Amino acid sequence: MTWLSLENWDFSLVLSTVAAILFIVNLLLAIGLIFLERRSAQSVWAWVLVLFFLPIVGFIIYMIFGRTIYNQHIFKIDEKDKVGLEHLVKQQLKDIKNKQFSFVNPLANKHKKLIHMLLYNNQSFLTNNNSITTYTDMNEKFDQMLEDIENAEDHIHFQYYIFRLDGIGKKLYNAMLKKQKEGVSVKILYDDMGSRALNLRQFRKIKSYGGEVEAFFPSFLTVINPRVNNRNHRKIVVIDGKIGYIGGSNVGDEYVGKSKKFGPWRDTHLRIQGNAVKSLQLRFMLDWNSHAKRNNMVYSDRFFPANYHSGDRYVQIASSGPDEVWQQIKYGYLKMIYHAKSNIYIQTPYFIPDQSVMEALRIAILGGVKVHLMIPNMPDHPFVYWATYSNSGALVKMGADVHIYEEGFLHQKILMIDDEVVSIGTTNIDNRSFLLNFEVNAFIYSKREAEKQRDIYEMDVKNSSLLTEERYEARGKWIKLKEAVANLISPIL
């Protein structure tokens, strides 16, 4: 057995062979897993650095965080179930193209190119006769939601990225359980990664009464989930097809200000009545049907009841995700920024725009448009925060007004232009929202709604500090180092 002795091993040859194999493997991975996928140049280079500086480990990181699902049509609905909805989109596109669309709302007519672009999302049809209630205190939002659940007569469709069965979560769960016992149909959809503390066994009681509960992209063997990205970040509640909720807050005690770490929680959520609820209903149906094993929903008049509600808000519900070719909500943001004539207001917890969005904001500032940006004063994700701080500083240098919210954690996602168009929903200004996660936003064409949101912004300014150029330049070397690292990896944050 002397041939196994250490003396017979040529360690230099072994090391060079292993190095060559690792180099070839990483080269193939870089070509096969990255360059053949639809990615930005910044993202490609970021992943190349990971693969080559962390051989093998980099591959594992990529398989967990980097895989994409472009062109995988996971959101399905039978053709027969699109009757009246898909036709509505096609008819609106045709009428706008032929200048035959009746815009009762002059702002909708003014921004018809944005409306036309969002219509290409196939479900983003323009709706009217909507009224909107805005909640900035999530205690008030959940109080109203509990009341709406208590008054439900036919169905409750409940979807959240994070659903915690803590204080507020238990209240909502018990309210839905009560209605299920009374014969109201309840469907609960949560994201398995966002709600990783949950498991389907915790919903045995409501399921025993006929309620249905599902996890989006569930874990493998209950504890292993290889798909860290491509999460369903949407928050949608539809009650009886007549009331809809959309916005930034999840379900958990921290969202009602009970977190010791974050303190008061500043978010924005909308309660909608009117035709836009049909769009939220369709989005929920598509998400619910996203896995073949699920008991698929089919079109029913009870889900899309006739609307007799009267309101003056024109609304489009736009969604986007990594399964789509177009970054629909990001394009909506870009269209709004380029169309702005006087002012742009942005509130976001994560401000890590890609080059296209950053350049659009620079062009707006150089063209005389006043840009107002508000970010939180604390991180919930350190690298994300320092990239946010760095990008905010870059805008300050160009003349933007940047405020740092000081009264707790700022989490709402709002973009507004010229007191005319507002977008509110789940989408942050970062690649994760634009490319990796499934998101949903309401685009609202209403001067009164925009003015209301601007007034709310100005109230938030009173609880904020101004980020001046002098303040930004005075940051320490440690912060500069963290910003540099964050900017380097920002394409994959």
Give counts: helices (H), strands (E), the chain: 17, 17
The verdict on whether 381 is a catalytic residue reads: no
φ/ψ bin of 26: left (φ > 0), alpha (ψ from -120 to 50), beta (otherwise): alpha
**What are the start-end ranges of the E strands in 294-438?**
313-320, 343-347, 370-376, 401-405, 409-410, 414-417, 421-425
Catalytic residue among 155, 233, 242, 372: 233
Output the DSSP codes for 195-224.
Answer: TTT--GGGGHHHHHTT-EEEEESPPBTTTB
Distance CA 429, CA 442 (A): 15
Catalytic residue among 148, 418, 419, 460: 418
Catalytic residue among 240, 287, 354, 430: 240
> Among 343, 351, 393, which residue's Cα sits nearest to residue 372?
343
The verdict on whether 155 is a catalytic residue reads: no
Angle (deg, nearest 10), helices 138-150 and 167-181: 10
Would you give the DSSP letter of residue 2?
G
The verdict on whether 411 is a catalytic residue reads: yes
Catalytic residue among 111, 141, 235, 278: 235
Sign of the alpha-carbon torsion through 329, 331, 335, 340 = positive
Q: Which amino acid is at 295?
A: N
The verdict on whether 291 is a catalytic residue reads: no
Question: What angle (nearest 5°) sits at the alpha carbon of residue 274, between those of residues 245 and 135?
Answer: 35
Catalytic residue among 413, 419, 430, 460: 413
Output the DSSP codes for 353-394.
Answer: --HHHHHHHHHHHHTTPEEEEEEESS-SSHHHHHHHHHHHHH
Catalytic residue among 267, 411, 430, 460: 411
Residue 150 neighbours by CB distance under 10 Å? 10
> Among 417, 439, 442, 416, which residue's Cα sits nearest to residue 428?
439
Residue 338, token pair as written in the block: 């380029």
Hey, which residues are catalytic here? 233, 235, 240, 411, 413, 418
